[in-house]
Structure 1
Amino acid sequence: MATSKTRARNKRGEGAQLRDEIVSAAVKLVDDGMPQSVTLRAVAREAGISAPSIYMHFSDVDTILLAVAQQAFASLEQELAAPDDADPVVRLRAACAAYLHFAEHRPHRYRVMFGAVWNAGQALERAPALADELAVLGMGAFEVIRRTLADCVAAGRSTSADPFTDATALWVGLHGLAQLRVAAPLFPWPPDLQDVVIDRLALLLD
């Protein structure tokens, strides 16, 4: 018979640590391939706490999955911004490659981030108070792409007249490529398709 994990009681002032442990437990359930099984009871069991303890930090599963998505987007933003190169085109290509790598190697978190498991729009309908947090979800990662494309324009390496719109198109292209590679693994994907998507959507010059 399975038993719940046991966990030492937090000392006074360690509430933030408990919150982090709850999010980590939810992330582990997601990474283990069970994102649709993230329930208050399952998270509590994984964290080694009682289910009512969660309510000190999260009101429901939506707020837990929002925290998981926020953490995942923060990791993605860090990875997109990692390249340190003076050439903006090199940085843009590296950021796009990092995006696709993240989607491939953290597929379950990616599904939470982009609505395949947890839908931010539906969460907003259930809890309008989340509007401010949902409005900025993922914008830090997007800003890395937009800013890097703007650097390409400033360096005369892109003909984009609207980096925000073209960065949005690039994001859509990367997301579509990431999803379609999973959905159609037997399709004869051109080996240089990633560069073609980046070059055309970012309007890069040779």
Structure 2
Amino acid sequence: MTTPRTRARNRRGEGAQLRDEIVDAAMTLLEDGDGQNVTLRGIARQAGISAPSIYPHFPDLDSILLAVAQRAFGILERELSAPDDADPVERLRAICTAYLTFAEGRPHQYRMMFGAAWNAAQALDRSPAMADELSVLGMGAFEIFRRTLADCVTAGRSTSADPFRDAAALWVGLHGFAQLQVAAPLFPWPPELRDSIVDRMALLA
């Protein structure tokens, strides 16, 4: 478990740094798997600040967790990136592999991104002002799937007539596979299952 630190007082103009450190603290608690401490007090303790010091930067816990989810999806988006000049099918396979690697390597962040430690729908009910930010959460990562599948169609490598719909189906398949591997680690998963999910959901020729 990461030890909370004592933080020196910010100089004038360093408020943005403190905001980032608050998000860092929340992510550290999630990575440690210590979900019970992902509270305003727990985050403040991890960041080495008092709980009231959070409020100039975040009005509540939901806004912190939204910032955590945004950062996590940003990391995922970077890890999904692949050279545009690569064969589109190989690029799509590499993206799917990177997605599952992210889910396996950052399990607590991944679960939070998809509702385990933070329910975005409930947060929206509590804070309707989050609607605009929540509506685009994860869309950068999804767009990589959609664009790459569209490239497969253009190259005559996929029979998809609707890359948006089929990219969404592919995402659902990968997410389900990632979750089931955690829930049933002793199940004899076929070694070619990942490629089969990609082939079927992306309608690869």
Shorter-chain TM-score tier: over 0.9
- Contact 1:65/1:118 (<8 A) preserved: yes
Matched letter for residue 181 of structure 2: R
Q: Relative to 1, partners in 2 of residues 1:166 and 1:119: Cα closer, same or farther, differing over 3 Å?
A: same
**Alignment deviations for residues 95-132 of structure 1 (CA, whole Å, 9 cap, x no partner):** 00000000001000001100011000000000001000
- Report percent identity of matched pairs: 75
Instruction: Output the TM-score relative to the length of structure 2.
Output: 0.96
- Contact 1:36/1:117 (<8 A) preserved: no
| 2:94 aligned residue | 94
Matched letter for residue 105 of structure 2: H
Note the C-alpha offset of 1:199: 0.3
Instruction: Output the TM-score relative to the length of structure 1.
Output: 0.96
Note the C-alpha offset of 1:55: 0.2
Is the counterpart of residue 147 in structure 1 residue 147 in structure 2? yes
Long gaps (5+) in structure 1:
none
Note the C-alpha offset of 1:83: 4.6
User: For 1:1-206, what aligned pairs fall within 5 Å after superposition?
Assistant: 5-83=5-83, 85-205=85-205
Count residues in correspondence: 203
- Contact 1:152/1:158 (<8 A) preserved: yes
- Contact 1:83/1:95 (<8 A) preserved: no
| Separation of aligned partners in 2, 1:156 and 1:179 | 32
Long gaps (5+) in structure 2:
none
**Alignment deviations for residues 56-102 of structure 1 (CA, whole Å, 9 cap, x no partner):** 11111111111111000000000011455420101100000000000
| Separation of aligned partners in 2, 1:190 and 1:83 | 29
- Contact 2:25/2:47 (<8 A) preserved: yes
CA RMSD of aligned residues (A): 1.2
- Contact 1:83/1:94 (<8 A) preserved: no
